[in-house]
Amino acid sequence: MAESPAHRFGQIIGNTLEAVVQPYLERFCAQHGLFLDHQSRSRRARPGKKVAWQDSYGNTHDLDFVIERDGNDETLGRPVAFVEVAWRRYTKHSRNKAQEIQGAILPLAERFRWNNPFLGAVLAGVFTEGSLEQLRSLGFHVLYFPYETLVEAFGAEGIIIRFDETTPDEAFQQCSEAIENSPVDRIQRIQNRLVESNQAQLDQWFSALASRLARQVVTVIVIPLYGRLNRFYDISAAIQFLDAHQLYEGSGEFRKYEIRVEFSNGDNVSASLDSKQRVREFLEFVANQ
């Protein structure tokens, strides 16, 4: 089936958005000794062009950008940031797109939870406040380029992108060709205008990224847990047990270690582990993040 002109236009806008943020991500990674993976990068550490990672269940998720620690072209590193880029023209599609981004990134965030990765969404076009808040409530940092700032950036170079559902395919086709055939300096001016009109949001987003990846350990809490397993079948019986229970160090059989590591930026990572060796591995892993 042939690709519709409207869909092609949307892909071009999405590619433009990726081209806007990619140099900033590359510069950030160079400054912090990190590795940036993206689809336009040829890399022997992974097959094909897609930036694909598997979750705990073996499902593969394709992403736009992944920042790794200790990664290079030959070796996959430890993922410390997942970033998805998306464009939507109509509010009726914004909630679905937010859910798609959740579905792609949250399973990976769960698998690599010890990394406590940065979850990033770079969005442009028309998104409802509800869809943006949905992502933020789940721990995503959202960089949002409103629709009007895109219209103005392209319009300043004589390219009209203010389309709606009544726009004929011919208009989408002509606009796509105008963008694709534009000289490099014209596209660069469009990107620069888009950045200038959203500079505060861009700075805030990268500040959050830096805060996450430059964090320092400030507290490590280790709680050895002991005790017999006490099982009850109603609340009143459990309360009676608590009322009569005497607390003292080392009471009963050792169960596990509860670990909590707190960082300078307010983040924390917790684990429940059943041996000293696993605790040591966990703490060494955190120390290398």
pLDDT in tens, 175-225: 999 999 999 999 999 999 999 999 999 999 999 999 888 766 778 888 888
For the full predicted model, state whether its pTM sits above 0.85: no
Query: What is the spatial distance between Cα 3 and Cα 1, in angstroms, rounded to a whole number?
Result: 6
Query: What is the spatial distance between Cα 33 and Cα 23, in angstroms, rounded to a whole number?
Result: 15
Distance from the Cα of residue 185 to its chain's centroid: 31
Query: What is the spatial distance between Cα 276 and Cα 281, in angstroms, rounded to a whole number?
Result: 9
Query: What is the spatial distance between Cα 5 and Cα 176, in angstroms, rounded to a whole number?
Result: 8
Query: Are 159 and 244 in the same domain?
Result: no
Q: What's 39's domain CATH number?
A: 3.40.1350.10
The total number of structural domains in the chain stands at 2
Query: What is the spatial distance between Cα 10 and Cα 126, in angstroms, rounded to a whole number?
Result: 13
Query: Are 137 and 120 in the same domain?
Result: yes
18-30 b/e with 16+ CB inside 10 Å = b? bebbbebbeebbe
Query: What is the spatial distance between Cα 88 and Cα 7, in angstroms, rounded to a whole number?
Result: 11
pLDDT-above-70 percentage for the chain: 95
Burial of residue 123 (number of CB atoms within 10 Å: 0-12, 13-18, 19+): buried
Query: Are 267 and 129 in the same domain?
Result: no
Query: Are 201 and 265 in the same domain?
Result: no
Name the CA radius of gyration of the chain, rounded. 24
Residue with tokens 């109509």: 90
Write down which residue in 213, 237, 255 finishes a domain: 213
Query: Are 173 and 94 in the same domain?
Result: yes
Q: Once rounded to an integer, what is the mean pLDDT over residues 259-276? A: 81
Q: What confidence category does residue 263 fall into, taking pLDDT thresholds of 50, 70 and 90? A: confident
Residue 72 confidence (pLDDT) above 90: yes
Query: Are 246 and 276 in the same domain?
Result: yes
Q: What would the DSSP string read from start to end of 51-95?
A: EEEE-TTS-EEEESEEEEES--SSS--EEEEEEEEEEESSHHHHH
Write down which residue in 157, 191, 213 finishes a domain: 213
Domain extent, residue 273, equals: 217-287
Write down which residue in 169, 198, 213 finishes a domain: 213
Query: Are 126 and 267 in the same domain?
Result: no
Query: Are 222 and 245 in the same domain?
Result: yes
